[in-house]
């Protein structure tokens, strides 16, 4: 198929799908008790969709119910086609996103868990004889599948090759999960992956809390002065893209999603911290010093079998020292994506919230 024909086909699919944008769906969501998943459930319910959300515990069940979903008491180790009964689509947002963990843990959750969701969706789509109707599988991926800590990534798009070898377990297992999702696309089940970069916004449980802890402890320092440039993704922009992907986009493709513009890490994180009255100090350490130190500390932690991550990890140093900026042309063209929240607007809302 020629490139021009492929693009025309994608546009035709998007236009045809747009006719169904207002049709209510029954959507199965994983990771619904988390940061992105909670906002996603609220948006889907507000748009008139029925949501069933995976819940591993009573606490998770209570949380997803508070967002408006019907809890489904299962997990990525046990989910099957019966849990997806009557669902039209799956949005898979659950993942192991910690800095630390064993290879077995990362692989079980990020790869085997995704594969189990795909298998359940395939069987619920009728491929293996089920009468249910899952037709769409949207995977929440990450730009981190491109990270290898050897160079900056500037204005990359979906044509940029995923490394064959990864230094970080998170990147490796999320890359494998996405590859399996895209390979599963067929006439019965349309599969799509979205790749956001640095998700932020209300109810963030990762970035702001981590900054606050380090500033309070006096341990925060910029790497290379915080000069690395980054794309960012407000959670409402990511959720809007996920909703668009329920009816738009070409199966078997990945889409980068981000806010408009790029910023230095220092500018963005300082502004983000300021929304909570946190002033980040200007102290800085060169990455050439921290990279070998992080490797030694991580290895020491592993040998000593200490709980939790080392105080400094190679992944954290990479994230804070490498520029990563992404292009969203494909998402704009094929999903109809455009940020619904600007960075300045989002920061003001956080400050006033």
How do residues 77-114 score in pLDDT, each as one tens digit? 999 999 999 999 999 999 999 877 889 999 999 999 99
Judged against a pLDDT cut of 70, whether residue 20 lies above it is answered with no
Q: How confident is the model over 124-143, as a mean pLDDT?
A: 77
Judged against a pLDDT cut of 90, whether residue 308 lies above it is answered with no
- The string of DSSP letters for 171-209 reads HHHHHHHHHHHHHT--SS-EEEEEEESSEESTT-SSHHH
User: At 125, is the pLDDT very low, low, confident or very high (cuts 50, 70, 90)?
Assistant: low
Residues 6+ apart with CB under 8 A from 251: 185, 186, 190, 191, 192
pLDDT at 22: 66
User: At 310, is the pLDDT very low, low, confident or very high (cuts 50, 70, 90)?
Assistant: confident
Cβ atoms 219, 185 nearer than 8 A? no
User: At 291, is the pLDDT very low, low, confident or very high (cuts 50, 70, 90)?
Assistant: very high
pLDDT at 5: 46
Q: How confident is the model over 272-279, as a mean pLDDT?
A: 96
Judged against a pLDDT cut of 60, whether residue 127 lies above it is answered with no
d(CA 228, CA 319): 9
pLDDT at 17: 47
pLDDT in tens, 293-304: 999 988 888 888
Q: CA 199 from chain center: how many Å?
A: 8
Residues 6+ apart with CB under 8 A from 268: 230, 232, 343
pLDDT at 124: 81
- Both tokens of 273, joined, read 């911290």
pLDDT at 112: 98
Instruction: Give yes or no: 170 in active site.
Output: yes
- Both tokens of 110, joined, read 């990020």
Q: How confident is the model over 185-211, as a mean pLDDT?
A: 95
Cβ atoms 59, 73 nearer than 8 A? no
User: At 128, is the pLDDT very low, low, confident or very high (cuts 50, 70, 90)?
Assistant: very low
Judged against a pLDDT cut of 80, whether residue 233 lies above it is answered with yes
Judged against a pLDDT cut of 90, whether residue 253 lies above it is answered with yes
* Max avg pLDDT among 199-213, 224-238, 297-311: 224-238
**Domain definitions of the chain by residue range:** 3-200+232-259+325-342
User: At 141, is the pLDDT very low, low, confident or very high (cuts 50, 70, 90)?
Assistant: very high
pLDDT at 311: 84
pLDDT at 7: 47
User: At 247, is the pLDDT very low, low, confident or very high (cuts 50, 70, 90)?
Assistant: very high
Mean pLDDT of the chain: 91
d(CA 54, CA 113): 12
Q: Which residue has the higher pLDDT, 16 or 291?
A: 291
pLDDT at 306: 80
d(CA 114, CA 86): 20
User: At 21, is the pLDDT very low, low, confident or very high (cuts 50, 70, 90)?
Assistant: low
| Percent share of the chain, pLDDT over 90 | 80
Instruction: Give the right CATH number for 3-200+232-259+325-342 from 3.90.1860.10, 3.40.50.720, 3.40.50.2300, 3.40.50.300.
Output: 3.40.50.720
Judged against a pLDDT cut of 80, whether residue 140 lies above it is answered with yes
pLDDT at 126: 58
Q: Inter-axis angle of helices 235-245 and 35-46, to 10 degrees?
A: 60
């Amino acid at each position: 198929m020629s490139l021009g024909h492929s693009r025309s086909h994608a546009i035709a699919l998007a236009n045809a799908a747009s006719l169904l944008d207002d049709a209510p769906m029954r959507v199965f969501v994983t990771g619904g008790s988390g940061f992105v998943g909670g906002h996603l459930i609220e948006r889907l319910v507000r748009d008139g969709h029925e949501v069933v959300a995976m819940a591993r515990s009573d606490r998770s069940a209570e949380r997803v119910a508070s967002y408006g979903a019907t809890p489904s008491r299962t997990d990525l180790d046990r989910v099957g086609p019966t849990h997806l009964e009557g669902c039209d689509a799956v949005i898979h947002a659950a993942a192991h996103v910690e800095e630390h963990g064993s290879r077995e843990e990362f692989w079980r959750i990020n790869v085997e868990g995704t594969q189990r969701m795909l298998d359940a969706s395939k069987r619920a789509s009728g491929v293996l004889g089920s009468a249910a109707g899952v037709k769409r599988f949207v995977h929440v991926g990450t730009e981190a599948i491109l990270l290898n800590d050897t160079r900056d990534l500037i204005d990359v798009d979906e044509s940029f090759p995923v490394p064959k070898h990864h230094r970080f377990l998170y990147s490796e297992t999320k890359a494998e999960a996405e590859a399996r999702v895209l390979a599963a696309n067929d006439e019965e089940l349309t599969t799509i992956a979205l790749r956001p970069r640095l998700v932020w916004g209300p109810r963030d449980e990762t970035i702001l809390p981590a900054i606050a802890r380090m500033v309070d402890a006096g341990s925060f320092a910029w790497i290379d002065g915080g000069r690395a440039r980054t794309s960012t993704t407000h959670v409402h922009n990511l959720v809007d893209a996920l909703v668009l992907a329920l009816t738009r986009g070409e199966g078997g493709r990945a889409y980068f999603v981000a806010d408009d513009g790029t910023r230095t890490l220092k500018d963005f994180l300082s502004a983000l911290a300021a929304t909570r009255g946190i002033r980040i100090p200007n102290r800085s350490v060169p990455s050439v010093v921290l990279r070998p130190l992080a490797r030694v500390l991580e290895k020491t932690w592993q040998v000593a079998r200490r709980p939790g991550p080392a105080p400094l990890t190679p992944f954290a140093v990479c994230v804070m020292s490498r520029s990563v900026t992404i292009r969203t042309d494909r998402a704009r063209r094929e999903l109809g994506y455009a940020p619904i929240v600007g960075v300045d607007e989002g920061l003001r809302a956080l400050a006033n919230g």
